């Protein structure tokens, strides 16, 4: 996708872990990653949650790699038997897992010597990968091909996701919010009309069950400031008539 000659990067996110699919852990990483991608003006059109099944992961991550500019994964890079993301990604890109000396040093500084074999596994990355440092636990994420592979702990994802700033290109969205006491059913045809009139603007409506001063919040987003301004003007004109 091109806008004003600027390439808009496409990003897909895979949250990995049986614990998420089973409802044992509440995922927070979708929000963390999507906010960063949105801030950088890129697109995040696809998000999925994958089980700890290496063949299932291989199939879906391979498709994502071919379909999107960047694939972000969270989870599955620890040192237990069900941490399989590194192995699957290394298989997809055709590179062996090797110890990263910088990661070994960081782990030694953090944990002390000697490192157990299990801890040393945290330093395994596909050969030639770029490390994404982790100041909280010293266990790195990494970038290889168009994969950004991160741990599953939200605080770590939040501290490491900033690496995307040097990888993505885009144009930031501008956002306007309109609130109304009308019911969503009463304004649906107006929203549809505005969306058709201004295809460069994304129009979303969100009923507000607990608010007292409005029933619906309407959010309009666009990379085109003029279209956004005109769409807001037209929406207000239609719903206030």
Give me the mean pLDDT over the 180-202 stretch. 94
pTM above 0.85, yes or no: yes
Which whole number is the average pLDDT over 140-155? 96
* Between 241 and 50, the higher pLDDT residue: 50
Percent of the residues in the chain that have a pLDDT greater than 90, as a whole number: 83
Residue (of 200, 210, 206) closest to 187 by Cα position:
206
Q: Could you count the other beta carbons within 10 Å of the beta carbon of residue 114?
A: 9
- Which candidate, 25, 129, 134, 116, places its Cα nearest to that of 79? 116
The residue out of 166, 197, 215 marking a domain boundary is: 166
For 185-217, b/e burial (b = at least 16 CB within 10 A) is eebeebbeebbeebeebbbeeeeeeeeeeebbe
Q: Are residues 98 and 214 in the same domain?
A: no
**Domain count of the chain?**
2
At 102 the pLDDT is 93
122 and 61 fall within a common domain: yes
Indicate whether 5 pLDDT > 80. Answer: no
CATH of the domain at 218: 3.30.70.2860
- What count of residues does the chain have? 241
Identify the pLDDT of residue 17.
Answer: 95
Query: Averaged over 128-132, what is the pLDDT?
Result: 96
Q: At a CB cut-off of 8 Å and minimum separation 6, what does 139 contact?
A: 77, 78, 103, 107, 122, 123, 151
Instruction: Express each pLDDT in 93-122 by its tens digit.
Output: 999 999 999 999 999 998 888 988 888 999
Are 153 and 15 in contact by the 8 Å Cβ rule? The answer is no
Return the CATH number at 122: 3.40.980.10
Q: What is the arithmetic mean of pLDDT over 199-219? A: 91
Q: Using the 3D structure, point to which of 112, 141, 166 is the last residue of a domain.
A: 166
pLDDT per position as a tens digit, 149-165: 999 999 999 999 999 99
Sheet holding 201-207, edge to edge: 174-180, 216-222, 201-207
Strands (DSSP E) contained in 157-200 are: 174-180
* Residue 110 structural domain: 2-166
Q: For the chain, give the mean pLDDT.
A: 93
Would you give the end-to-end CA distance of the chain in angstroms?
37
4 pLDDT above the threshold of 70:
no
Domain boundary among 121, 149, 166: 166
pLDDT at site 199: 96
Say whether pLDDT at 80 is over 70.
Answer: yes
pLDDT value at 241 more than 80: no
pLDDT at 206 over 90: yes
Residue 124's φ and ψ, nearest 5 degrees, are: -80, 130
Residues 153 and 206 in one domain: no
- For 8-59, write each residue's pLDDT tens digit: 999 999 999 999 999 999 999 999 999 999 999 999 999 999 999 999 999 9
Q: What is the SS3 assignment for 91?
A: helix
């Amino acid at each position: 996708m091109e806008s004003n000659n600027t390439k808009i990067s496409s990003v897909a996110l895979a949250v990995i872990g049986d614990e998420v699919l089973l409802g044992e852990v509440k995922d927070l990483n979708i929000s963390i990653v999507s906010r960063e991608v949105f801030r950088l003006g890129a697109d995040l059109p696809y998000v999925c949650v994958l089980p700890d099944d290496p063949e299932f992961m291989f199939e879906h991550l391979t498709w994502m790699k071919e379909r999107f500019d960047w694939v972000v994964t969270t989870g599955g890079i620890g040192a237990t038997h069900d941490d399989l993301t590194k192995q699957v990604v290394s298989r997809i890109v055709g590179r062996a897992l090797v110890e990263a000396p910088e990661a070994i040093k960081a782990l030694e500084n953090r944990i002390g010597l000697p490192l157990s074999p299990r801890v040393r596994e945290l330093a395994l990355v596909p050969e030639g990968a770029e490390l994404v440092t982790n100041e909280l636990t010293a266990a790195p994420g990494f970038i290889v091909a168009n994969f950004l592979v991160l741990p599953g702990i939200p605080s770590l994802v939040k501290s490491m996701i900033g690496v995307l700033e040097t990888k993505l290109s885009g144009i930031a969205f501008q956002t306007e919010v309109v609130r109304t006491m009308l019911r969503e059913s009463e304004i649906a045809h107006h929203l549809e009309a505005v969306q058709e009139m201004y295809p460069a603007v994304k129009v979303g409506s969100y009923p507000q069950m607990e608010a007292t001063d409005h029933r619906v919040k309407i959010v309009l987003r666009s990379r085109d400031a003029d279209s956004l301004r005109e769409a807001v003007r037209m929406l207000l004109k239609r719903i206030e008539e």
